[in-house]
Structure 1
Amino acid sequence: MGVTRTAREIGAELRGARCRARLTQTQVGNVVGYSASAISRIEAGSMRLEYDRLLAFAAFLNIPLDRLHRTPVPGPAPVDTVRCPADEEDAVRRRNLLTGAAAIGATAAVGATTASAAPAGGDPAAPLEDYLFRLPTAAPVPLARLVQETASARKDFRAARYTALGRALPGLLASASATWEESTGHEREKASVVLARSYVLAAELALKQHSDAAWAASDRALAVARASGHPVPVGEASRVLAITMRRSGNCPSAVRLLTREAADLDSGQEQTAAVRTTLMLTAAYSAATGRDRATALDLLDAAEEETARREATPSGLFTVDATRTQVDVYRIGVHTALGTPDEGVSVARRINIDTMPTPERRARAWTDTARMWHALRDGQQTLAALRRVEHEAPQEVRRPALRALTADLLYASARVPGVREFAARTGAIST
């Protein structure tokens, strides 16, 4: 029967299949929902794949599943039998890096707007990756204008207008940073909150695109939020940092960060209580991803109790909600992550996703519903939920993770009428 293969062996198998197909790491990543750097770590055996992601790789690269589960017949590893054009990929990557650096320098020199430098299509987070470590030159702006620009960026996020958000964020971050550096006293405190929330938006967008920029954005968000002394932006920043940690496979650390921050918040105040709820919900999903069922369900129940005490009042949080419906959506995701998606079916049937306040939140709820049905191998229901995602937020359904789910549905053994057209329309396959 053999034994389960190691991450390094699986990575070598994936790299060999990719090279035989003459695909770059970027091309594979676009289909299966990872950045090129993440594909590199997977192929090196330094990043662990969840089982559903492994299935997506196998389907796209035409790898028999037994080659990924069992020790192969002794002999040369597949990666050694195929010459992979790694030098060619590295050369392309170096050219792109130098071109990007030159463009950044030119933009900073002439003070051009970042919207003109952003790509017309493709990855909405690409401008962040270009500019995050070298923001364009910007002058301080009046705090009232900065607050207005941040509110506009938030509207783009909540409406799932990710391309517009990606274009706006570098300039917003540059202006917010310059304003924060020049401010003093109470004005600096206000500028800290605005800058922290701008970085939270950057982290949210990077997370949606599986971009490594999420690390830098979330870390900066938390540092500036702590400097502000305000607990709400601290909680918001802690949440996106914990999601970044979970995405890297460090679920226990994510749960510890979230529960520690939740314990430090005052549950007697409306906004801090709402933040506590979102932290507990994110911690519950992180625990479920780490297969800690008891912790995940305990945190869900605690979050539900919190919402029962104060749901009548709007929470006013920046990017997420803290309502009973949101708790139920998380409950669906938690059960799917725990491998018990059947326990989420009754929850999915009782909630009314249409009552959720923003297209981004409604699209996320339908995404979790689609994943539940996919785990239950109900292709028709999965596609129906994905179509609801597209209806709510067309850019949401083009996220790497959603394209990977669509591709997995397309290559499943049971044919689903309409899935190929949907996959072509949403970018899951090339036309």
Structure 2
Amino acid sequence: MGLERTAREIGDALRGARCRARLTQAQAGQVVGYSASAISRIEAGRMRLSYDRLLAFAELYRISPDSLTGRSVPDGSPLGTVGRPLDEEDAVRRRNLLTGALAAGATAAFGAASPASAAAGSGDPVAPLEDYLFRLPSAAPVPVTRLTRATETARADFRAARYSSLGRSLPGLLAAASSTWQESRGHAREKAAVALARAYVLAAELALKGHSDTAWAAADRALTAARASGDPVPIGEASRVLAITMRRSGNCPSAVRLLTNEARDLDARQERTGAVRTTLLLTAAYSAATGGDRTTALDLLEAAEEETARREAAPSDLFTVDATRAQVDVYRIGVFNALGAPDGGVEVTRRISIGNMPTPERRARAWTDTARMWHALRDGPRTFAALRHVEQEAPQEVRRPALRALTADLVYASARVSGVREFAIRTGSLPS
């Protein structure tokens, strides 16, 4: 009998299993009898489950209960027979949900018209994207130059952390890019494929920030479009976001393999491809650390730092991330956090100049990793100071689910920090 797992560990395992089953939180909840918000709390480790409810999830996701609980199934308690059983009706419902998800993807591939969106006016930046991703709105082809400008405008929204604006514009941009790519020929088709790939990269980045299940679909489509373009830079960009979705679903080794294989194909001596290669190595380092592979994580981090040092005189302007020494330092903090050794990042924070990083989104990400480091070291005041910096740089960033959870932890910590409760209410971590 193994050691029983914490609620956070069980939640992480459930999230990974659900993503591998290609089910949304609402779909999973429909089968096992929970709301989507309850599934979210369970996966965040904020809601404990009885053993019979864990068995229901194990049956739904077709996984061993031991992988969730760390202990064996009691004698006489086969799957689906404890508590509310998963009967034949539930099994049929599960098959229908899976079939419906696949059908939605097939419908989108043939360019069907979009239904009206009830989510377009909601406060969730990802809601419009979730509503439209599997069934894009109708759109006519546009000149490739106009499409490229629209993609750059969307990129500017992402880099400035204007996520609500980005969420509203992405469905139309994706529809126009898809239509233009389908109707174009020759060099114009290749350029349209680059724009389509980058629009899907932005969709994946936004979905990842919102912990949305649409991230895997957006990332997969980004890589398909990128490969159609034949351009190694968007191929690398799309591979990076796809690997992040793999890591989020618990498949860290596969994420590392994808990233290192793609990096191997890129020429480190060329400015464009060398910079993308560095970002792939950094993401691979963090993915390895998340999977507990310390040696690989640190080796990849050092390789990325060496490549960055060779290009320090002329850093590239990449699409959503950077390949600079400051970015390497941010990843170094994140790697130590993931390895459970946050003290290794303290020295890094003394030399990094977050204020000089080029975009609000990147500065907010750096302060986020810093907040996680201080939180792991149980330094509430410094955690709160870092969260305040996140809010100053990018007010919408601090409302992400992960940061709201971190803020809530500070509220209920034994050592109270002045101003945290007001901050939590202002940023949506606590009800007003």
Between 151-160 and 124-133, the greater mean CA deviation after superposition: 124-133
In the TM superposition, residue 32 of structure 1 has moved relative to its aligned partner by 6.9
For each residue in 1:322-359, what CA deviation from the matched residue of structure 2 results, as whole angstroms up to 9, or x when unmatched? Answer: 00000000000000100110011000121110000000
Aligned to 1:371: 372
Equivalent residue number for residue 340 of structure 1: 341
Partner of 1:377: helix, strand, or coil? coil
Tell me the equivalent position of 2:23: none
The code of the aligned residue for 1:418 comes to G
**Contact (CA 8 Å) 2:113, 2:135: kept in 1 or not?**
no
How far is the alpha carbon of 1:380 from its aligned partner? Answer: 1.0
Is the Cα–Cα contact under 8 Å of residues 238 and 257 in structure 1 kept in the other structure? yes
Residue number in structure 2 paired with 1:37: none
1:245 maps to amino acid: M
Residue type of the partner of 1:199?
Y
What are the Cα deviations for residues 58-101 of structure 1, in whole angstroms up to 9, with x where unaligned? xxxxxxxxxx8889999999x96799xxx9xx9xxx9xx9xxx9
What residue is the counterpart of 1:57 in the other structure?
Answer: none
> 1:24 is matched with which residue?
35
| Larger RCO of the pair (alpha carbons < 8 Å, separation 6+) | 1
Q: How far has the Cα of 1:221 moved from its partner?
A: 0.5
Specify the alignment match of 2:4 in structure 1. 5
Relative distance call for 1:140 and 1:349 in structure 2 (3 A) is: same
Partner of 2:139: 138
Deviation at 1:416, TM superposition (A): 2.0
| Aligned 8 A contact 2:10 2:43 in 1 | no
| Superposition misfits of 4+ residues, deviation over 4 angstroms | 6-11, 30-34, 40-43, 45-48, 68-77, 79-83, 108-112
After the TM superposition, which residues 362-401 of structure 1 pair with which residues of structure 2 at under 5 Å, given as runs?
362-401=363-402
Aligned to 2:220: 219
1:261 alignment counterpart: 262
Q: Partners of 1:149 and 1:42 in 2: how far apart? A: 48
Q: Secondary structure at the match of 2:198?
A: helix
Q: 1:111 to 1:43 in 2, by over 3 A?
A: closer
Measured in 2, the distance between the counterparts of 1:156 and 1:33 equals 28
Question: Match for residue 44 of structure 1?
Answer: 57
TM-score of the pair, normalised by structure 1: 0.80
Q: Is the 1:162–1:205 Cα contact (8 Å) retained in structure 2?
A: yes
Structure 1 pair 385–284 and aligned structure 2 pair: CA distance change class (3 A): same
Query: Residues 381 and 42 of structure 1: is their aligned pair in 2 closer, same or farther, counting only changes over 3 Å?
Result: farther
The SS at the match of 2:207 is helix
Separation in structure 2 between the aligned mates of residue 122 and residue 393 of structure 1, nearest angstrom: 16
8 Å CA contact 1:33–1:399 kept in 2: the answer is no
Residue 419 of structure 1, CA deviation = 1.4
Matches within 5 A, 1:15-414: 24-27=35-38, 29=40, 44-45=57-58, 118-414=119-415
Tell me the distance in 2 between the aligned counterparts of 1:422 and 1:127.
Answer: 27
Letter in 1 for 2:232: P
Distance 1:109 1:279, change over 3 A: closer
Tell whether the 8 Å contact from 2:342 to 2:373 is kept in structure 1 after alignment.
yes
TM-score in terms of structure 2 length: 0.79
Residue 130 of structure 1, CA deviation: 1.2
- 1:169-220 Cα distance to aligned partner (Å, 9 max, x none): 0000000000000000010011111110000000000111111111110001
| 3-state SS of paired residue (2:124) | coil
Specify the code of the residue in structure 1 equivalent to 2:35: T
Q: Which amino acid aligns with 1:5?
A: E
Name the SS of the counterpart of 2:313 in structure 1.
coil
Amino acid at match of 1:25: A
1:32/1:404 contact within 8 Å kept: no
Count of residue pairs the alignment pairs up: 388
Residue 7 of structure 1 and its aligned partner are, at CA, apart by 9.1
Superposed CA RMSD in Å reads 3.9
Q: Assess if the C-alpha contact under 8 Å between 2:55 and 2:82 holds in 1.
A: no
- C-alpha change, 1:195 and 1:160, in structure 2 (3 Å) is same
Superposed displacement of residue 399, structure 1 = 0.5
Any stretches of 5+ residues in structure 2 without a counterpart? Answer: 15-28, 46-52
Q: Matched residues in 2 for 1:246 and 1:75: separation? A: 36
Structure 2 contact 336–342 (Cα < 8 Å) conserved: yes
Describe the shift of the 1:24–1:127 C-alpha distance in structure 2 as closer, same or farther (beyond 3 A).
same
Structure 1 stretches lacking a partner, 5+ long: 35-39, 49-53, 55-67
Cα pair distance change 1:308/1:235, threshold 3 Å: same
Distance 1:10 1:335, change over 3 A: closer
1:374 match: secondary structure = helix
Note closer, same or farther for the CA distance 1:251–1:140 as it changes in structure 2 (3 Å cut). same
**Aligned AA (2:322):** D
